[in-house]
């Protein structure tokens, strides 16, 4: 792959996570199995805590809404013995995850479990080898670095705050999640530029997904596609349409000879 000169107008780099800074398998092979393997243990251990009680309450409310959904698993009422409620809550979580559901109740519990897993060193955020040296170099060159991921800002901060290479949060200027808008809508990239306080042409967006790159480009943002092991294959048309990079080192800063 050819080195990509970073356009001189670029003052900010916006980074996708999965498939760009981090193996696309990280969430699927590390984070989700962690929930499935530890949800019972987590609920037992944290049961007396108000946060855990609230998480279970939210699962129960969601389960009530789901009572018409095929295969639905109820969460027993708060009057039942804890062991019975926990069993129902575990089964409900496993059921929701088997359908790849993204309910707020499920996401909330998952978020709390991941926070505890990262903080106790049971999970570490993965980043590709080239990522940290490149981010440091870009930061030294006065580029501002931002994340845009469909994972919540809290989840992003955990991944980079407790990464295999230590706490990387000080390298980052800010985080965006889908509360700013969908990653495949160009309005989201205009909003990000507004919030950063620059124009779209000052931003370079790196992602593995061409639909996201297309939306960003429509907004006037510069884009490059990260080609990483395990990412979805690109069509010949996509390959010809975008700059491709297999390592962040392939980006050449204007001042770099
Ligand atoms: Mg991605």
- The domain segmentation of the chain, as residue ranges, is 4-22+125-252, 28-119
Q: pTM above the 0.95 mark?
A: no
Query: If you ran DSSP here, which 8-state letter would residue 125 be given?
Result: B
- Other CB atoms within a 10 A radius of the CB of residue 145 amount to 18
Q: What is the mean pLDDT of residues 221-244?
A: 96
Residue reference for tokens 């981090």:
22
Instruction: Compute the distance from residue 176 Cα to the ligand 1 centre, in Å.
Output: 14
For residues 76 and 61, give the distance between their C-alpha atoms in angstroms, rounded to a whole number.
11
Instruction: Compute the distance from residue 240 Cα to the ligand 1 centre, in Å.
Output: 19
Residue reference for tokens 């929930």:
35
Instruction: Compute the distance from residue 190 Cα to the ligand 1 centre, in Å.
Output: 19
The annotated binding site is made up of 16, 18, 149-150, 183, 208
Instruction: Compute the distance from residue 223 Cα to the ligand 1 centre, in Å.
Output: 13
Bridge partners, residue 210, by sequence: none
pLDDT at residue 152, as a whole number: 87
Q: Which H/E stretch holds residue 244?
A: strand 244-245
Instruction: Compute the distance from residue 164 Cα to the ligand 1 centre, in Å.
Output: 19
Structure-derived torsion over alpha carbons of residues 156, 161, 162, 164, reported in degrees to the nearest 10: 90
Rg of the chain's alpha carbons, rounded to an integer? 21
The annotated binding site for Mg(2+) is made up of 16, 18, 208
For residues 219 and 245, give the distance between their C-alpha atoms in angstroms, rounded to a whole number.
21
* H-helix segments, the chain: 25, 32-46, 50-65, 82-98, 104-119, 131-140, 153-161, 186-196, 210-218, 236-241
pLDDT reading at 110 higher than 90? yes
Angle between helices 104-119 and 82-98 (to 10 degrees): 100
Q: What is the mean pLDDT of the chain?
A: 95
Instruction: Compute the distance from residue 177 Cα to the ligand 1 centre, in Å.
Output: 12
Question: Closest Cα to residue 204, out of 184, 218, 224?
Answer: 224
The annotated binding site for substrate is made up of 149-150, 183
Bridge partners, residue 71, by sequence: none
pLDDT reading at 115 higher than 70? yes
Instruction: Compute the distance from residue 208 Cα to the ligand 1 centre, in Å.
Output: 5
For residues 102 and 10, give the distance between their C-alpha atoms in angstroms, rounded to a whole number.
35
Question: CATH assignment of 4-22+125-252?
Answer: 3.40.50.1000
Instruction: Compute the distance from residue 59 Cα to the ligand 1 centre, in Å.
Output: 28
Instruction: Compute the distance from residue 156 Cα to the ligand 1 centre, in Å.
Output: 13
The predicted-structure confidence for 2-50, as pLDDT tens digits, reads as follows 788 999 999 999 999 999 999 999 999 999 999 999 999 999 999 999 9
For residues 161 and 150, give the distance between their C-alpha atoms in angstroms, rounded to a whole number.
17
Q: Do domains 4-22+125-252 and 28-119 have the same CATH topology?
A: no
Instruction: Compute the distance from residue 141 Cα to the ligand 1 centre, in Å.
Output: 25
Question: CATH assignment of 28-119?
Answer: 1.10.720.60
For residues 168 and 212, give the distance between their C-alpha atoms in angstroms, rounded to a whole number.
25
CA 26, 30, 31, 36 dihedral sign is: positive
């Amino acid at each position: 792959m050819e080195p990509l000169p970073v356009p001189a107008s670029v003052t900010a780099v916006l980074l996708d996570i999965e498939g760009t800074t981090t193996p696309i398998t990280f969430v699927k092979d590390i984070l989700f199995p962690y929930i499935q393997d530890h949800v019972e243990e987590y609920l037992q251990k944290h049961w007396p805590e108000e946060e855990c009680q609230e998480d279970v309450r939210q699962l129960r409310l969601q389960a009530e809404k789901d009572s018409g959904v095929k295969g639905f698993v109820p969460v027993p009422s708060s009057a039942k013995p804890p062991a019975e409620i926990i069993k129902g809550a575990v089964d409900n979580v496993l059921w929701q995850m088997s359908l790849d559901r993204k309910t707020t109740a499920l996401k909330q519990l998952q978020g709390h479990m991941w926070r505890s897993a990262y903080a106790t060193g049971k999970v570490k955020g993965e980043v590709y080898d080239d990522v940290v040296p490149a981010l440091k170099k870009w930061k030294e060159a006065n580029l501002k670095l931002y994340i845009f991921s469909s994972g919540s800002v809290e989840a992003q901060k955990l991944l980079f705050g407790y990464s295999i290479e230590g706490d990387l949060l000080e390298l980052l200027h800010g985080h965006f999640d889908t509360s700013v808008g969908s990653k495949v809508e160009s309005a989201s990239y205009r909003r990000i530029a507004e919030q950063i306080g620059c124009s779209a042409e000052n931003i370079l967006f790196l992602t593995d997904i061409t639909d996201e790159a297309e939306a960003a480009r429509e907004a006037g943002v510069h884009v490059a596609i990260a080609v990483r092991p395990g990412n979805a294959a690109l069509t010949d048309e996509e390959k010809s349409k975008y700059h491709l990079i297999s390592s962040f080192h392939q980006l050449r800063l204007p001042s770099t000879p």
